[in-house]
Amino acid sequence: MAPLITHMYTADPSAHVFNGRVYIYPSHDRETDIQFNDNGDQYDMADYHVFSTPSLDPQGPVTDHGVVLKTEDVPWVSKQLWAPDAACKNGKYYLYFPARDKQGIFRIGVAVGDKPEGPFTPQPEPIKGSYSIDPATFVDDDGEAYLYFGGLWGGQLQCYQKGNNVFDAEWQGPKEPTGKGVKSLGARVGRLTQNMLEFADEQGVREVTILAPETGEPLDADDHERRFFEAAWMHKRNGKYYFSYSTGDTHFLCYAVGDSPYGPFTYGGRILEPVLGWTTHHSIVEFPEKSDRWWLFHHDCELSKGVDHLRSVKVKEIFFDEEGKICGEKQPAG
For the annotated catalytic residues, the residue numbers are: 12, 230
> Which is it for the CA torsion 99, 100, 106, 107, positive or negative?
negative
- Which DSSP symbol is given to 59? B
- Closest approach of ligand FUB to the CB of residue 170, in Å: 22
- Say if residue 157 is exposed, middle or buried (CB neighbours under 10 Å; 0-12, 13-18, 19+): buried
Comparing CB distances to ligand FUB, the nearer of 22 and 136 is 136
Q: Order across the sheet with 282-286: list the strands.
A: 282-286, 294-300, 312-320, 326-327
CA-to-CA distance for 295 and 285, rounded, in angstroms?
5
Q: Read off φ and ψ for residue 15, nearest 5 degrees.
A: -110, 140
Are 70 and 50 in contact by the 8 Å Cβ rule? The answer is: no
Per CB under 6 A, contacts with ligand FUB among 216-275 are: 230-231
The minimum distance between CB 26 and ligand FUB, in angstroms, equals 9
Q: How far is the CB of 222 from ligand FUB (least distance, A)?
A: 21
Binding mask 73-92 for ligand FUB (x = CB under 6 A): ---------xx---------
**Least distance from ligand FUB to the Cβ atom of residue 116, Å:** 21
| Contact predicate 219/177, CB 8 Å | no
Measured from the CB atom, the residue of 55 and 78 that comes closer to ligand FUB is 78
Using left for φ > 0, alpha for ψ between -120 and 50, and beta otherwise, residue 192 falls in beta
Give the nearest distance from C-beta 251 to ligand FUB in angstroms.
Answer: 11
- For ligand FUB, which is the closer residue by CB, 43 or 265? 43
CB-nearer residue toward ligand FUB: 145 or 253: 253
**In the complex, least distance from residue 10 CB atom to ligand FUB, rounded to whole angstroms:** 10
**Rounded Cα distance, 205 and 127, in Å:** 12
- H or E element, residue 314: strand 312-320
81 vs 71: CA distance, rounded Å: 7
Nearer to ligand FUB, 61 or 311 (CB): 311
Of residues 5 through 34, those in contact with ligand FUB by CB under 6 A are 11-12, 27
Which of positions 175-194 make contact with ligand FUB (CB under 6 A)?
A: none
Q: Does 51 bind ligand FUB (CB under 6 A)?
A: no
Size of the site for ligand FUB (CB under 6 A): 13
Which residues is 109 bridged to in the sheet?
97
DSSP string of 178-224? -STTPBPPPPEEEEBPTTSSSB--TT--EEPPEE-TTTSSBPBTT-T
- φ/ψ of 96, rounded to 5, equals -100, 135
Near ligand FUB in 99-158, by CB under 6 A: 133-134, 151
Binding stretches for ligand FUB (CB under 6 A): 11-12, 27, 43, 82-83, 133-134, 151, 230-231, 279, 281
